[in-house]
Amino acid sequence: MTKTNAQAQIELHKELAPRYAYRYGFEFSRLFQQDWHAEMISHVPPGATQVLDLGCGTGFFLAELERKHPGAVGLDISHDMLKVSDRYVPGARLVTADAERLPFAPGRFDAVFCKGSLHHTRDHVGFLENCREVLREDGVLVMSEPCNDNPLIRFARALLYKRSPHFDEGDQGFTRKGIVDLCERAGFEVTLVKKYGVLAYVFAGFPDHLGILKYVPGNALLTRLFIRIDRVVCALPGLSLLGFHVVIVGRPRSS
């Protein structure tokens, strides 16, 4: 019998849960991830109290959300990933569920975050419609997803997703235009789109995939420098094609 995507993701992330602790286990990789988290959190309107991290995984981002918004909720399809979250974010409410069928009342949240979870699902518009449904009318969606505008990045990702046992072959990155279109079809007005992550993403973000920086003296300093360079590169229209992720902010369009 063929597996559903939900089953495939649960199995995949059972294997991956211990790797995430390793990924976030170095000062330089935490520096990068914290900068990424700060970028996403910066788009939450002041006064937001009810926040949801959709596809929170092992909870490192959720821990930062919880510090700023006590009582943050984390949802993930993988119970194994959430077991790690439980250790890192004891104050957060953790829910095991499928983002394609959210167990929350309409208008429950001021902000919904998705960091790298949309591309693991198959019904992208359905996923985003669910986000819209659980957001207040003046709520905000903040996402960061793999971006394949650059043909070289698209090729490298396709190869990685095909070859590595740590991805499902059906997982895919987006183009900037494609993800904006998905958000609009799901009823969002996109208020910000920006690229994120070049050098720091590649060298500091994923020591479980590319660990070279572990052996470089001063790697934390180097990561800070990479983060600064990336910020400049991602802000320049021609060079922003080099960005590995795209950060999208959307607000429910009034019907």
Residues that bind ligand SAM (CB under 6 A): 6, 9, 13, 55-57, 60-61, 76-78, 81, 98-100, 115-117, 120-121
Decide if 119 contacts 174 (C-beta within 8 A): yes
Which one, 66 or 76, has the nearer CB to ligand SAM? 76
Which one, 95 or 190, has the nearer CB to ligand SAM? 95
Query: Min. distance of Cβ 238 from ligand SAM in angstroms?
Result: 29
Which one, 73 or 99, has the nearer CB to ligand SAM? 99
Query: Min. distance of Cβ 81 from ligand SAM in angstroms?
Result: 4
What Å distances lie between residue 126 and 121, 131, 186, 196, CA to CA? 10, 9, 7, 25
Closest CA to 204 of 36, 38, 16, 13: 36
Q: Which helix (H) or strand (E) holds 131?
A: helix 124-134
Query: Min. distance of Cβ 166 from ligand SAM in angstroms?
Result: 9
Which one, 40 or 233, has the nearer CB to ligand SAM? 40
For residue 5, the 8-state DSSP code is H
Interatomic CA distance for residues 138 and 48, integer angstroms: 10
Query: Min. distance of Cβ 110 from ligand SAM in angstroms?
Result: 19
Which one, 50 or 78, has the nearer CB to ligand SAM? 78
Neighbours of 107 (CB within 10 A): 15
User: What is the crossing angle of helices 60-68 and 79-88, to 10°?
Assistant: 50
Give me the residues paired with residue 245 across strands.
146, 196
Give ∠ CA 145-43-114 in degrees, rounded to 5: 30
Query: Min. distance of Cβ 6 from ligand SAM in angstroms?
Result: 6
Q: Which residue is nearest to ligand SAM (CB)?
A: 57
